[in-house]
Amino acid sequence: MALHVIVGKGQVGTTTAERLADDGHQVRVLSRSGGRSTERIEHRQVDATDAEALTAAARGAAALYNAVNPAYTRWATDWPPVAAAMLAAAERTGAVLVTMGNLYGYGRPAGPMTPDSPLAATDTKGQVRARMWVEMHAAHQAGRVRVTEARAADFVGPQVPGDHSHLTRQLPALRAGRRAWVVGDPDVPRGWSYLPDVAATLVILATDDRALGRAWHVPSTIRSQREAVTDLATALGLDAPKVSGMPWPVLRAVGVAVPFLREVVAVRHQFDRPYVIDASATTATFGLEPTHWDGVVRATAGRVGVVE
């Protein structure tokens, strides 16, 4: 089997590494802190902004995965050097560059988002992500490198840390029988991407030439936050919660002292209107479908019931 090199050992990188190892591939994970290698997965300490080091570590690889996850408040400063280094390493090694993307680049959607929707973001984070894809695609079109990108909605699943999920961060309120306060309108539909489905999409994009030169959406489930939180409560054997949206003036005020919330306010459009991912092209081309939502919720509940 081929060598696959993943940059980043967070939730996406780790889940994808396990999927590749299960498929029998040679897997190498690169990260700033390194890690302990096993018979299944090799770890190396490499700075994701160092194109020379990335190139050396990716020699002979069939695919190079960008699963880096900069701090939410530092996308504008931290993403560009990582993206440039990854693109340079892929060009020098000939590895397919597979990037983990998201929906920010589309900006304020007028309907369900497809990979062909215009990259019309006006906020800083969305423009950063859109620019990354434009530069990757231009290099692909010029024949310098082979690229593809998977775009996902909100991550969900037992692999997602509780404080990184719009769903599981509601656990303290659910268990205490209190009202669950969510960001935005709790009743607008939005996408939820199960981490194993994310990994499956990344792997198929890296190994199927039909994926090259364009972006693809991860098959996902559409549920409102109220529905998703209620489903999780039910799976945990808890009473159905009351769910309300946090007032935006409160979030703005708190955001003065909490940078993360300030960034959330900047993408208010993702929470006040339907934010729906359409992955029909992925399903039609590769046969990938989302894991049934009941299974997603049960798996998530099983993890949080023990660990959280």
pLDDT reported for residue 303:
67
pLDDT reported for residue 286:
98
- Point out which residues pair with 224 in neighbouring strands: 189
Helix (H) or strand (E) holding 193: strand 189-194
* Whole-number Å distance between alpha carbons of 104 and 24: 33
* Whole-number Å distance between alpha carbons of 113 and 62: 30
Please provide residue 71's backbone torsions phi and psi, each rounded to the nearest 5 degrees. Answer: -55, 140
Maximum Cα–Cα distance across the chain: 57
pLDDT reported for residue 77:
97
Name the CATH code of domain 3-153+194-218 (choices 3.40.50.720, 3.40.50.300, 3.40.50.150, 3.30.830.10). 3.40.50.720
Using alpha carbons, select from 7, 123, 16, 135 the residue that is nearest to residue 61: 7
Tell me the C-alpha to C-alpha distance, in Å, between residue 20 and each of 117, 202, 247: 30, 10, 43
Q: Which residue has the tokens 């992955």?
A: 279
pLDDT reported for residue 127:
98
pLDDT reported for residue 307:
41
| pLDDT tens sequence for the chain (308 residues) | 899 999 999 999 999 999 999 999 999 999 999 999 999 999 999 999 999 999 999 999 999 999 999 999 999 999 999 999 999 999 999 999 999 999 999 999 999 999 999 999 999 999 999 999 999 999 999 999 999 999 999 999 999 887 778 888 888 888 899 999 999 999 999 999 999 999 999 999 999 999 999 999 999 999 999 999 999 999 999 999 999 999 999 999 988 888 988 999 999 999 999 999 999 999 999 999 999 999 999 999 886 554 44
**Buried-state track 118-156, b at ≥16 Cβ within 10 A, e below 16:** ebebebebbbbbbbbbeebbebbeeeebbbbbbbbbbbb
- Point out which residues pair with 217 in neighbouring strands: 151
Q: Which residue has the tokens 């800083």?
A: 124
